[in-house]
Chain A
Amino acid sequence: MTDSVRTQTSQRVLGLHAVFVYVFFYAPILILVVFSFSGDRLVGRWGGFTFDWYGEFLDNEQLTAFHDGAIWTSLKVAAVSTVIAVVLGTLAALSLERFRFRGQRVFDALLYLPIIIPDVTMGIMMLIFFSEAITFADTYLGFEFAKGLKTVVISHIAFNISFVSVVVRARLAGMDSRLEEAAMDLYATRWQTFAHVTFPQILPGVLGGALLALTLSLDDVVVTQFAAGPGATTLPVFVFSLIRRGVTPMINAVSVVMLVASLLLIALMLLADGLRSVADKSS
């Protein structure tokens, strides 16, 4: 009895701690949302309630133009780089945790490099690499390409693979492999074992990795700035170029719109999930 009381108290303390963590996470977000409605062009000085910044944001071609506006560019880069990085990163994690092969240690080391490289260094090296690669492709391989969206995506995948694989490996490491062995003893093929045993088990890790990759890609300035070419401006790069002349509440408005959009997306997914489970029960 005392034991369950103790568990309850500790659960409560843990819950309280979680609330604190969320307050910490959302305090600046609250400020950000509030000032997106402020009439003053200075973020931090309240200038009366207004929707003007949202209007200005919608009117801003550089941001909202379909296809080549900064917002669309950001979303495209984030989506493509996350999907590719999740596939490659998960495979890499599996091969490292579940197999032994020649060159494994070097591969292991190579996989950590993108995580520990400073942003600027990675940016500079991608810059020089693409510039040389363009010349090389043009002179020796006879095809032309230019810096732009593709080069940004390529660089984002390069760092995201590693982040995904670290998170997936944290999940795989020491995960009971007897289940997999049992499945194979029962004549499941490699593929069946993966699809029905391994994958469901590592799914939380894969999703976590995907979330991390998406976030990193949506937030990256430095590498993008160096890898991008004309017209491939992502949202963070656009915002960064504004800081000298002052970041107006318009940027807050952009952030709020993205927040609301992601919340709607999550609500939609929950709804779909709820409907599905209701359907499952009734059938």
Chain B
Amino acid sequence: MNTKLWSRLFVALLALTLIAAACGDDDSGGGEVACAVGETDGDLNLYNWSEYMDPDLLTAFEEEFGVSINEDNYDSNEAMQPIISAGNSGYDLIVPSDYMVSILIDNGDIMPLQKDAVPNLANLADEFASGLPFDPDADYSVPYQWGTTGLGVDLSVTGPDVPETWGLIFDPALAAEYNLEGAITILNDPRETMGAALKYLGYSLNTTSIDELNEAKAIVADATNRVAAFDSDQYDELLVSGQAAVTHGYSGNFLVQFFEADDPDQYTYFVPQEGGTRWVDNMTVVADAPHPCTAHTFINFLLDAENGAALTNWNYYASPNAAAEPFIDQEVLDDPVVYPADQSKLEFIADTGDFEINFSDAFIEAKG
């Protein structure tokens, strides 16, 4: 092959790219804007998890404020983050989970909240109003909904007295006792799955000890032999269609699925006694949002007591909105899946910085 031409092409490319990169570095900025309560500055571009927003609420907002809402959806934090971090995404409001909020803050991808424009912040329950580890002073983010990660179990396979432990996945003897060979699915997510293993071993799921991680890797590798699939999307369907008996997944998904099953009592969801993940999704305004004021007004709108309740009644995830409680269906409030009684052993996933690479590698190595 003609090396001269190759190298010429390469150099030309490199030069052009460097110029482009150099020109692009001075973005963010955007200038400070001050928004009044209820102010709108154009149509809202919302980037949210799929089926997480009651369409009636969107319509209500559109009617009340005379702007329209453009909602696009993503299926994971990791799918959304590069799009926002690259800049010029065109989106105003996004709903990242806890650890992702701290990453976006550090990257300068989201703007500080103008608390004056959001008087309904007062409706938040105390534990959500401030002091969350990823945004201690709540300067950037407003909690949207929260939930847990745990196990959904088909009681017709395991029998009614199934122990609430991660051992169902990680302990071969226990898995054999409850007929779980080839009937387990675990999340295809390094932090959640390594985290579950770490919790089972009694460690923090945010460990930065390579030894603890290696221990966890060993038991995940062992579990791989019993696992039917690593699945982050269809585990609830696999459970209720009888293809899996113990599945690792997010609380709200299970609830919706159980609710529609022929016999809801056949299934149960719990966070194992060793503890597990708790997560909060948060509304944040993108740093280069074209319509920051509409975004703030929308946050305020969702924090309204009745609107917050409507959201929980629609998607079965727990609400951080204390004022909304009187309007939430009693059966949702009483459901231990939505509102777990003991939250002491639950942990938020935190970004571990450079150690993230170890989580990712360990997970892939565990799969073999």
Contacts and interface: CB of A to CB of B under 8 A. Distances in A.
**A and B touching (Cβ–Cβ under 8 A):** yes
Task: Find the residue from B49, B90, B241 having the highest chain A CB count within 10 A.
Answer: B90
A48 to B, nearest CB: 13
Nearest to B79: A225
B230 to A, nearest CB: 14
Given A105-B1, A135-B23, A230 B233 contact: no
A140 B22 CA distance: 13
A163 interface: no
Contact of A226 (B6, B27, B83): B83
A64 B74 CA distance: 19
Interface in B272-301: 290
Interface in B74-132: 74-76, 79, 82-83, 86-91
A243 interface: yes
B156 interface: no
A54 B165 CA distance: 43
A68 to B, nearest CB: 9
Given A132-B21, A230-B90, A42 B241 contact: yes
B87 A246 contact: no
Contact of A242 (B51, B72, B86, B237): B51
Task: Find the residue from A41, A45, A131, A148 having the highest chain B CB count within 10 A.
Answer: A131
Nearest to A130: B88
Contacts of A245: 50-51, 253, 256
B73 interface: yes
A229 B236 contact: no
Contacts of B64: none
B6 A231 contact: no
Contact of B49 (A106, A226, A230, A244): A244
B27 A135 contact: yes
Contacts of B268: none
A244 B20 contact: no
Q: Kindly state the interface size class of chain B when it binds its partner.
A: 35 or more
A230 B20 contact: no
A131 B286 CA distance: 14
B24 interface: yes
A139 interface: yes
A131 B88 CA distance: 5
A44 B50 CA distance: 22
Contacts of A43: 237
A171 interface: no
A231 B51 CA distance: 16
Given A105-B1, A131-B24, A131-B86, A231 B233 contact: no
Contacts of B6: 106, 109
A121 interface: no
B90 A246 contact: no
Interface in B18-58: 20-21, 23-24, 27, 45, 47, 49-51
Contacts of A241: 50, 72-75
B86 A243 contact: no
A130 B86 CA distance: 9
Contacts, number: 106
B86 A128 contact: yes
A39 to B, nearest CB: 12
Contacts of B2: 105-106
Given A135-B24, A136-B23, A240 B88 contact: no
A229 B24 CA distance: 19
Given A134-B88, A139-B23, A233 B72 contact: yes
B173 interface: no
B5 interface: yes
B9 interface: yes
B263 interface: no
Contacts of A229: 89-91
B175 interface: no
Contact of A135 (B79, B88, B90): B88
Nearest to B52: A245
B354 interface: no
A106 B82 contact: no
Contact of B90 (A44, A110, A129, A146): A146
B153 to A, nearest CB: 18
B234 A147 contact: no
A203 interface: no
A42 B237 contact: yes
Nearest to A103: B5
Given A124-B82, A127-B82, A231 B88 contact: no
Contact of B260 (A41, A127, A139): A41
7 contacts: A43-B237, A106-B6, A110-B9, A124-B82, A129-B20, A134-B88, A240-B75
Interface of B: 1-2, 5-6, 9, 20-21, 23-24, 27, 45, 47, 49-51, 70-76, 79, 82-83, 86-91, 232-234, 236-237, 240-241, 253, 256-257, 260, 290
Interface of A: 41-45, 62, 103, 105-106, 109-110, 124, 127-136, 139-140, 146-148, 225-226, 228-231, 233, 238, 240-246
10 smallest beta-carbon distances between A and B, as pairs: A241-B73, A230-B45, A132-B24, A245-B51, A131-B86, A229-B90, A134-B88, A241-B50, A243-B233, A131-B88
Given A246-B253, A246-B257, 8 more contacts: A43-B237, A44-B241, A109-B1, A127-B82, A131-B88, A133-B20, A230-B45, A230-B91
